[in-house]
Amino acid sequence: MTRFLRSPDSAGEGSGLSYSADVRKNDGNIELSISADAMSATATLYPPIGDGAPLTPEYASELLARLGVSYGLLWDELTERILDVNTDRHILRDIVVARGAPPVSEHPEHIVVEDRFMPGFRPVSDDEHSVDWKAISPVLVVKKGERIGSVIARRDGVNGSDVSGRAIPYAKDTVPSFTLGKNVERSGDDIVSVGEGRVIIESQRISVEEVLVIKGDVDYRVGHILFPGDVVIEGGVAAGFKVYAGGSISIKETMDAFDVSAKRDLLCAQGIIGKDQGQVRVGGALKAKFIENARVAVRGDVEVPGSIVGSKLFTLGRLSMGDKGRIVGGEIFATHGVTCGFLGGGTKPVTVVNVGVDFTVQQKLDQAGVALRELSVRLARFHNLLKARPDDPSVRKACADTDAKVKALAANIAELSKRVDIDEGAAVEVRNTVYPGVVITICHIRVSIDEPLKKTRFRLDRVANKIVVEH
């Protein structure tokens, strides 16, 4: 005689089926249970009592067969536990005697994008003792050949089976389906960028844009900008934020010039305002409505139709301003000349304009001059010390070494002096008024303005070695 025991439902789901066989009193006994999902079978082993018959593998096999457990049998484990029960005479509970095999879902080939390129908020690490919020930027930049993601190969689905041998059909996984856009390609099992730029994922399409467009201001929302291509800023640049571009920069509103660098051109539809020793470096041309209290270095031409106030502007090209364009205070270095409307101001601010020189060479020349003066002072001290200690070899050696450095530096200054004046034809043309307080230098020949001048052109007469003032 046999008996089936079904445990009560748990949380609304059947908790499985239990089965055992009636045996003689004191004989060993087994109670088998199948889980609600039929994915496992467990046993409770009861040892014989007194002269009762021990448990046997054959008895266990018969019970498993009657209950229909035919798949995933852990037969070796069960026979060892039967031996333990017969030997130790202790009840063993919840012995797993069979396990089903879950199905393996079908997985299509798909692309997995690296986490750092996925859009969304990224919390700051708890290990960070301080956070520079300006340095946290949502702009994700890649170099040519850099990996963006990887291709996960297709995996076939495999049916599973419960412990009764009933097949469990496999499912088909749903995975994000990415497509490849501009400047992105597959290389083996990698998804890589074929150029430098910003990674953009829109509508499950992966692209690398060579132009970065900022929809608004560069501020804490955006962070510092360091981009290998062109940058278009549809707002302004807030104080304290860096903008570096490997191409050109275009800004539609006023830029607070903390630290801005463009390898090519810089276009400021409004103007540039200097902040806290800020600087602007431009590898191409510069166009800005105005420049105020800024330090700007440009390799190409500069166009400023408005005003340049209290600034230091260096350009290896030409500075062109409108008929109403004003240069008030500060210092201008423009290799190939200046054209403006007004030069200086009614309050006589010191306004210096230098043309005809290569400002990069001039800067090296100025630095060398400072170093030469310091070395000359040191050499004079060594000479005085040598007079007091003529037989001291260390003093003699220091004096000789310093003298050699002075001569080498003097030779370098002489060479730089030959290369600093590069355009003797450069001129300064003022179409309205030149105010007192203005100093104009052309190839290191200087003239100071002591009275107002109207519609004046300053040029260099190299034969007379003086600046000619033409009206």
For 267-290, the pLDDT digits (tens) are: 998 899 987 677 899 999 999 999
Q: What does the alpha-carbon distance between residue 291 and residue 306 come to, in Å, rounded to a whole number?
A: 8
Mean pLDDT across 162-183: 92
Q: What does the alpha-carbon distance between residue 308 and residue 299 come to, in Å, rounded to a whole number?
A: 18
Mean confidence (pLDDT) of the chain: 88
- DSSP state for residue 102 in the 8-state scheme: P
**How confident is the model at residue 447, as a pLDDT?**
96
- Residues 336-350 pLDDT 10s: 999 999 999 989 999
DSSP string computed for 203-265: TTEEEEESEEEESS-BSTTT--EEESSEEEESS-B-TT-EEEESS-EEESS-EEEEEEEESS-
Q: What does the alpha-carbon distance between residue 51 and residue 438 come to, in Å, rounded to a whole number?
A: 124
pLDDT at 129 over 70: no
Neighbours of 409 (CB within 10 A): 17
With bands split at pLDDT 50, 70 and 90, how would you rate the model's confidence at 471?
A: confident
Domain ranges of the chain: 2-99, 110-204, 210-298, 361-420
With bands split at pLDDT 50, 70 and 90, how would you rate the model's confidence at 451?
A: very high
Q: What does the alpha-carbon distance between residue 266 and residue 249 come to, in Å, rounded to a whole number?
A: 5
Closest by CA to 62, choosing from 30, 26, 94, is 30
- Residues 211-258 pLDDT 10s: 888 888 888 888 888 888 899 999 888 878 889 998 999 998 888 888
Q: Side-chain half-sphere of 344: how many Cα atoms within 13 Å?
A: 25
Cβ(454)–Cβ(440) below 8 Å: no
**How confident is the model at residue 240, as a pLDDT?**
82
pLDDT at 118 over 70: yes
- Residues 7-26 pLDDT 10s: 444 333 445 566 566 667 88
Distances (CA, A) of 430 to 122, 222, 268, 337: 55, 42, 24, 11
pLDDT at 6 over 50: no
